[in-house]
Structure 1
């Protein structure tokens, strides 16, 4: 029952991003499926929810909630909004994954997780391509799919989990997996979500510089050099990849235009930050997570969030060893999301279910980091 409830929540979260469900509002109900494994695991593995490894997350959410509640009461300004909601979802996904994996974690379950994520992501990829991307041109300034940032990041997250956690032994299935991943990467580029592409390039650089298999490092490095050389030398390829995708058909000489107006919006926020530097001025929106945190919650409130993320970063980068499989996936997912947060308002917590894969893998790694074994499923 616990496994059924957990994987139902995973699949429902992925399918909630189907364009038709997003437009109709059905996605809100599909996200609630995480309540089912939460309830099941409270009875199946209740002690996991009071494990000391989770206390720092509980404390963070409690402190941040009280901070927002107190300021909203005193200043009569909205502080409790999307950020608190996204953080609460991230907590729920983490504790459910932690509780499930503490009792049921295995190499077989990692395989199931990868397969469910990959098939769901391929369905989303094909749906977005056939309904939106196939009927648009990369040369257009207008984006073909409005939810490109969320979709791009979700697809990138699935690519990361797949390449790090499980690759089939049989040649035919390896080829099918590779084709599926290539299709997803192509669609990620076609979505023109430049924040997601920065995370993608980070993953590529990690495999070139830090991956522990020299043959894979050398292979990816050589392929990257060949691809970059080809793009730089071929004017048609340069126009498509650099001008249309990376620059998004924007004026590269105008920083504000190239940043999709973010520079102007940052300047608009500065007076509000100067007026209320310590406690912020309540709910606002701007596509740069660090800056909007300070603008909304002030130095004190933003510090609560930043300290939590620093602690999470230290766990992921230092404690979660060996850096294989789910530990490696968690590392790449988290830092790709942090890069994304420089260009978006809600990562690494949201919006909505966008970042659930990050916190799911974090919960899995958190449940296992004190042991000396790792589920090795690639060999």
Structure 2
């Protein structure tokens, strides 16, 4: 698989977002986000159904869904949207809470460590940011305290979190198995890179985007791709300080959790397919709205 195609798709989606901002007011971001979140719930339903039908148990080293990292990232994005907009549309609060629990439970069943780290980022943002409503902060704080106490005093939960999720039910003495082969990929990277340091090997496969970009396109192309992957995060950090709007905050959290995913996936935050399109759509919208705000 090559990074080129996903990058072109993301650029195309970014262009759509940037150009559409002239036809949309920035308060419409919540409806765009909620449309995506509802589609994530629909995907979650079918994935959950497949997991149940597969008969894979949670303590198995076999993953319940083949494309777990990709689908978990979609579910994680939906989870973020439901938690964030829980403060905005109170009439739907109960539905948002049920949907959030459903998405969270399915992500746990998928055992995608990248997405579970993303949940941690979302929880931290709830506790530290003033963008969430006070009752949401209280609820998340209460759930965190409850989970920590349960984890400390429940050995079954400790075993599930540590052995079944973190270690993926694999031999703890075999770091390569725990990392799903990524340790071997890191060890083989220097020798492969030195074979073609400037032009790269073309289409290749390393489940770490930062290394895969360099191996595919060489040192110069790899650096450019890595900078490109960081653009939404860099822009959101700058814009949140200057504009402090909801859509810039959503972009910031999306950028963080998608970039974390890039350490576990070959093509993230660009792909595979259209998995990451929402990040680049919001990125395009944010730049357009911020630039329009400067003019006004």
Q: TM-score, normalised by structure 2?
A: 0.89
Partner of 1:201: 120
Partner of 1:292: 212
Q: 1:152, 1:196 within 8 Å by CA — same for their partners in 2?
A: yes
Instruction: Confirm whether residue 141 of structure 1 aligns to residue 87 of structure 2.
Output: no
Instruction: Confirm whether residue 319 of structure 1 aligns to residue 223 of structure 2.
Output: no
Of residues 295, 317, 340, the one that matches 2:261 is 340
- CA separation in 2, counterparts of 1:312 and 1:112? 21
Q: Which runs of 5+ in 2 are unaligned?
A: none
Residues 70-113 of structure 1 show CA distances to partners (whole Å, capped at 9, x for unaligned) of: xxxxxxxxxxx631110111011111122112222353x33432
Partner of 1:115: 34
Residues 317-363 of structure 1 show CA distances to partners (whole Å, capped at 9, x for unaligned) of: 11244344221111111111111111111111001111011111111
Match runs of 1:18-29 below 5 Å: none
Match runs of 1:238-317 below 5 Å: 238-317=158-237
Q: Which moved more, 1:203-212 or 1:146-155?
A: 203-212
Of residues 266, 273, 280, the one that matches 1:359 is 280
Give the total of aligned pairs: 291
Q: Which runs of 5+ in 1 are unaligned?
A: 1-80, 374-379
Partner of 1:16: none
- CA separation in 1, counterparts of 2:31 and 2:138? 30
Partner SS state of residue 287, structure 1: coil
Which structure: larger Rg? 1
Match runs of 1:199-238 below 5 Å: 199-211=118-130, 215=134, 216-217=136-137, 219-238=139-158
Residues 48-76 of structure 1 show CA distances to partners (whole Å, capped at 9, x for unaligned) of: xxxxxxxxxxxxxxxxxxxxxxxxxxxxx
Q: TM-score, normalised by structure 1?
A: 0.71
- CA separation in 1, counterparts of 2:145 and 2:194? 46
Q: 1:341, 1:348 within 8 Å by CA — same for their partners in 2?
A: yes
Q: Which moved more, 1:333-342 or 1:225-234?
A: 225-234
- CA separation in 2, counterparts of 1:165 and 1:217? 13
Pair 1:371–1:304, CA change in 2 (3 A): same
Of residues 92, 103, 109, the one that matches 2:23 is 103
